[in-house]
Structure 1
């Protein structure tokens, strides 16, 4: 009797190859392991590290930003990348993939909440609110001028806009997603030329709030979110 074998109807899916930044992050973690670096140790300068890994400094910078977002390293102006803790490679790659997958949703949340907050800030701001906004701009400008990313001033600015909206519920929602926004802030400000672009964008929002122009404030905030949400990680497709 002839036995007829059944042909499987479900095809085996292809295994996705690691993205470039994942490969580089893995190389970085291997380097940390082989060099026996521990928390508090500083990684080599970007130029030296790029040469050792055989990649461009721009490519290395994106991998370092990804590690900073995950809290593995702390990139300090004038000091370099300092190791915060030494995780295992699988956990780092898993964290990167989770971060990559939730980026679009974080952008959606920011577009929904912060555009409305800017509109309300233009309607409700007080002189004290304007002072806080201007002080935040000054802090960021000083940071950028010194060569740093301006992350602290950036955070102060968005916090000041939120306060100027005088909406307790929206403020609570912003607090709830603050950690996720920090991820996008660090990643965005790590893009070449982005700190200067973000500062200029902040000034446009502040001008609209100062002029009590809700429509302009909302439009400028939406433009700003579109700008800062354009990060290299979203353009990384599987190789």
Structure 2
């Protein structure tokens, strides 16, 4: 065997903890014959049963939510939507890490410019729509939710305020991928409140007509929400 062949042989990557937990949760659903509408145990209970931190359980649940296996509802916990027949979920999870990085790059390229244009082109109706989205998110966060719907409405309203058909179409093209990154980000501890404050800074800049400040505020926001457990090195 030549030197290049030997150097190309490396041990397979060790499964990350959240991937192991996802597999155990899928096994639990199958063994207990759970189906749509059934609930998983609460996060704290799962952490005790699995012998891991609650943060690790949350990351595994987020992975299942993004793949459409469960819905995580404030006050209801994790509700099963579907139980996959095989392990395609695990394969999809391993591809998601790389995809998430690319989504963050795309958001930086598109949304920073969108925010700047919104500051230059926004109308009073646009500002009303943006303010309504912030209020929706604030209400959800105040009640203990993650503010996912309000966050989505906010970024959609800012995009509309830029009045660029092409940028709007590009954002729509990656909207489902952004939804995955949104759920991942807003599941981080304290992230909903932090994102809400960042949204307000973006709104203030857009309302003042300061394109540079609006772009900078959006760039800072995307940098902050990009700090997610999935992209950290530790298991």
Fold shared, TM-score > 0.5 on shorter chain: yes
Take 2:174 and 2:10, find their aligned partners in 1: how far apart are those partners?
Answer: 35
- In structure 2, which of residues 66, 74, 77 is the aligned counterpart of residue 69 of structure 1? 66
Take 1:46 and 1:156, find their aligned partners in 2: how far apart are those partners?
Answer: 28
Measure how far apart 1:13 and its partner are. Answer: 2.7
Take 2:213 and 2:167, find their aligned partners in 1: how far apart are those partners?
Answer: 20
Counterpart in 2 of 1:20? 17
Measure how far apart 1:149 and its partner are. Answer: 0.4
Asked if 1:100 is matched to 2:134, the reply is no
- Compute the RMSD of aligned alpha carbons: 1.2
Take 1:131 and 1:141, find their aligned partners in 2: how far apart are those partners?
Answer: 15
Take 1:24 and 1:43, find their aligned partners in 2: how far apart are those partners?
Answer: 13
Asked if 2 retains the 8 angstrom alpha-carbon contact of 1:19 and 1:236, the reply is no
Counterpart in 1 of 2:202? 205
Gaps of 5+ in 2: none
Gaps of 5+ in 1: 1-6
Counterpart in 2 of 1:85? 82
- In structure 2, which of residues 136, 156, 159 is the aligned counterpart of residue 159 of structure 1? 156
**Relative CO higher for 1 or 2, CA cutoff 8 Å, sep ≥ 6?**
1
Take 1:157 and 1:13, find their aligned partners in 2: how far apart are those partners?
Answer: 45
Asked if 1:169 is matched to 2:166, the reply is yes
- In structure 1, which of residues 130, 133, 149 is the aligned counterpart of residue 127 of structure 2? 130
Measure how far apart 1:8 and its partner are. Answer: 4.2
Asked if 2 retains the 8 angstrom alpha-carbon contact of 1:75 and 1:82, the reply is yes
Counterpart in 2 of 1:120? 117
Residue-pair matches, total: 232
Take 1:92 and 1:236, find their aligned partners in 2: how far apart are those partners?
Answer: 21
Shift >4 Å, 4+ stretches: none
**CA distances 1:21-74 after superposition (whole Å, capped 9, x unpaired):** 111111111111222111111111111111111111111011111111111110
- In structure 2, which of residues 183, 187, 192 is the aligned counterpart of residue 186 of structure 1? 183
Take 1:61 and 1:224, find their aligned partners in 2: how far apart are those partners?
Answer: 23
Counterpart in 2 of 1:33? 30
Larger radius of gyration: 1
Measure how far apart 1:16 and its partner are. Answer: 1.6
Take 2:201 and 2:194, find their aligned partners in 1: how far apart are those partners?
Answer: 11
